[in-house]
Structure 1
Amino acid sequence: MKKIVVLGSINVDTILNIDRLPLPGETMAMHDRSTAGGGKGANQAIAAVRAGADTSFISKIGKNHAADFMLDTFKDDGLKIDHVTEDEKAGTGKAYILLDAKGQNSILIYGGANQTITVEDIRKAKATIAEADCLITEFETPLEASIEAFKIAKENGVLTILNPAPAKQNIPAELLKLTDIIVPNETEAEAITGIKVDDRQSMENVSNKLHTMGIKNVIITVGASGSFYSQGERNGFVNAYKVNTVDTTAAGDTFIGYLAAKLDSDLSNIEEAMKFASKASSITVQTQGAQNSIPHVRDVEI
């Protein structure tokens, strides 16, 4: 069984259903409001464990009811949470999701305890990271923690996957050089490289720039169109599955968790893993919410 470690965020999501995004200064009524588990790190960890991987999670929560709600969810899925610790002062992270009638979303994040993860927290998880096949992280937790985790991973021959989300410019060169695979969407790819992603050539241009920044393997996700990969001399495109989209929340996180669970250590099956991840994501977008929409491997057919 593949061993995966995810370093990332925990959020409790509040989903606000609206017809469209409000204009500046506009007051708008909601159709509905709901609460669900979320956070990019937690979503990716749950996706990996539901994909069949032995998955450990490194994160932080506050001391409140929201924390209990999230921990119960993790235990139900069989996620290993020895390195999910409590912060005495900061609250559990929260996300406020504006979901429009077409299934597209805009998200506001309160980092809370996610932003209190330290280098020392990572060092306490060193043995767990060293024993993994793959380590995943994103940008909803401190960069210093991510760099330390990736250092430990590379010292022990562990594959590293960076999801550069939320979009960020000026990513530390040290982190990029420790990254085996970077998985941005088109917005994140443009933020990193300054190149707008709108066709196959632009994806190749983005990938080439990321290669010059020290990353050997690039996967760019482009929503309902699919995903592009580049390994330098080799590249290709995997089409998305066409489905009726209800909510795109956690689609990218599902893709990454399933990708990591399927990917061989030498990356020789990258297209097969991307198809597997794309299928899982196509199921996620058909249900409203984040973690509740992430499928189990028995429901994902290739």
Structure 2
Amino acid sequence: MKKILVIGSLNMDIQVTADRLPGVGETVLGTDYSYNCGGKGANQAFAAGRLGADVVMLGCVGQDEFGRTLIRGLKDNGVCTDYISVREGKDTGTAMILVDSLANNSIVTIAGANGCCDIPYLEKTEPQIMDYEYLLLQMEIPADAVFYAIDHAKEAGKTVICNPAPAPDGLPEEIMRKIDILTPNESELARLSRHKTDSLDGILEGAGKLLSQGVGHVIVTMGDKGALWVSQEGCRMFEGTRVDALDTTGAGDCFNGALAVKLAEGKSMEEAICFANAAAAISVTRKGAQASMPLKEEVLSLMQEE
């Protein structure tokens, strides 16, 4: 298996469940709360490590109990954490997650030490981390650090997978041309492409715009509907696995981590998307982000049942 490098955020998720999400200015009664290891970067690295990948994580945490817990959780699940930076005087990133009875969620993130995952930090770690084939990125760290990593990955002939979440208003075209696989959900695609994505035609138009800007492949994750793969060769819809969803937090991260794992194993894009769909389906049947990530054997078992 080829090595995967994940660069991104590490957060402690403070999750609150309620029958419904509050409106503006409204207070609702919650049913329970919990602390869960999260952050899009850490979630994706955790998912990949739990699925058996050779994965290295780069990112920053504070010198606090949240940071120690996050690093320990990744390490215990097969992720190399040797190069994660512990920043004195900074708090570990946090996320406030509200989940309703239908498994919908709203999330507010506070960057904390994630803001230190910057270009100087990446420059210091570069000699140790150039030994990888797949780079997996998100947008919860400074954008210029994301662009720096993409530039260097392409110069070194690596494969770049970018999950544009949270979605910026757009990405520079010189960066778009260096992204091999872009994995937005429907709302992220709408923001990036400035196309409405409330219909299949709209999704295809939005994905087509990103392809015209130089992206190699666009995989639109569509929740329980599955995932749509769009490339210059055409498009293909991969139906989602029907499950009883409990909590969708981290499902997109699970999909991205699982996708990278199968590609690193040398599998085709079709095989990778099917595997990622199944992994994400399992994750939504459990609470939490990293706590919901499946083992490889669980994913293969679900795929055999379909």
> Per the shorter chain, which TM-score range?
over 0.9
Secondary structure of the 2:280 match is helix
- Checking the alignment, whether the CA contact within 8 Å between 2:61 and 2:84 is kept in structure 1 is yes
Q: Distance in 2 between matches of 1:222 and 1:204?
A: 13
Over residues 16-39 of structure 1, what are the superposed CA-to-partner deviations in whole Å (9 max), with x where a residue is unaligned?
011111122212111001111000
Task: Give CA deviations for 1:131-188 in whole Å, capped at 9, x if unaligned.
Answer: 2120011110011111111122111111001111012103233322221110000000
Contact 1:59/1:85 (<8 A) preserved: yes
Residue 245 (structure 1) aligns with: 245
Question: What residue is the counterpart of 1:153 in the other structure?
Answer: 153
3-state SS, counterpart of residue 139 of structure 1: coil
Deviation of 1:129 after TM superposition, in Å, equals: 4.1
- Residues in 1 aligned to 2:243 and 2:83: alpha-carbon distance in whole angstroms: 37
Which string of whole-angstrom CA distances, capped at 9 and with x for unpartnered residues, describes residues 178-202 of structure 1?
A: 2111000000000011112133322
Q: Give CA deviations for 1:203-250 in whole Å, capped at 9, x if unaligned.
A: 221121001111121100111101001111232010000000000001
CA distance in 2 between counterparts of 1:72 and 1:101 reads 31
Q: CA deviation at 1:128?
A: 4.5
Cα–Cα, structure 1 residues 169 and 248, in superposed 2: closer, same or farther, change >3 Å? same
Shift of 1:264: 5.7
Q: Do structure 1's residue 279 and structure 2's residue 278 form an aligned pair? A: yes
DSSP-derived class of the 1:161 partner: strand
8 A contact 2:4–2:264 mirrored in 1: no
Q: Distance in 2 between matches of 1:73 and 1:57?
A: 12
CA RMSD of aligned residues (A): 1.4
Contact 1:126 1:152 in 2 (8 A): no
> Which residues of 2 match residues 194-233 of structure 1 at below 5 A?
194-233=194-233
Asked if residue 85 in structure 1 is aligned to residue 57 in structure 2, the reply is: no
Partner of 1:133: 133
Within the alignment, does 1:67 sit opposite 2:67 as a pair?
yes
Q: TM-score, normalised by structure 1?
A: 0.96
2:95 is aligned to 95
Looking at structure 1, the residues matched to 216 and 69 of structure 2 have their Cα atoms a distance apart, in angstroms, of: 39
| Matched length | 301
The equivalences for 1:3-14 within 5 A come to 3-14=3-14
Matches of 2:132 and 2:121, distance apart in 1: 17
Partner letter of residue 195 of structure 2?
I
Partner residue of 2:120?
120
Question: What is the CA–CA distance in structure 2 between the aligned matches of 1:225 and 1:170, rounded to whole Å?
Answer: 25
SS class of match (2:58):
strand
SS in 2 for 1:2: coil
Give the deviation of 1:124 after TM superposition: 2.4
Superposed CA offset, 1:247-275 (max 9, x none): 00010000000001102698x71111100
**Which piece of structure 1 moves more, 76-85 or 245-254?**
76-85
| Counterpart residue type for residue 95 of structure 1 | A
Secondary structure of 1:220's counterpart equals: strand
Aligned AA (1:280): A
Counterparts of residues 162-177 of structure 1 (less than 5 Å): 162-177=162-177
Aligned partner of 1:18 in structure 2 is: 18
Deviation by residue 1:31-71 (Cα, 9 ceiling, x = unmatched): 00111100000000011111221000010000111111111
- Structure 2: state its 5+ residue gaps: none
Report whether the alignment pairs 1:289 with 2:288: yes
Hey, what's the Cα distance between the residues in 2 that align with 1:148 and 1:128? 16
Q: In the alignment, is the contact (CA less than 8 A) between 1:284 and 1:293 conserved in 2? A: yes
Question: How many Å separate the matches in 1 of 2:74 and 2:131?
Answer: 21
When residues 265 and 209 of structure 1 are mapped into structure 2, their CA distance, relative to the original with a 3 A threshold, is farther
The question of 1:254 aligning with 2:254 is answered yes
2:187 match: 187
Which position in structure 1 is the counterpart of 2:55? 55
What is the CA–CA distance in structure 1 between the aligned matches of 2:292 and 2:187, rounded to whole Å? 23
Alpha-carbon offset, residue 87 of structure 1: 1.5
Aligned equivalents of 2:50, 2:209: Cα separation in 1? 34
Counterpart-to-counterpart distance in 1, 2:216 and 2:68: 40
Q: How do residues 257-268 of structure 1 correspond to structure 2 at under 5 angstroms? A: 257-263=257-263
Does the 8 Å contact 1:186/1:221 carry over to 2? yes
TM score, norm. by length of structure 2:
0.95
Range 242-251 or range 67-76, more displaced: 67-76
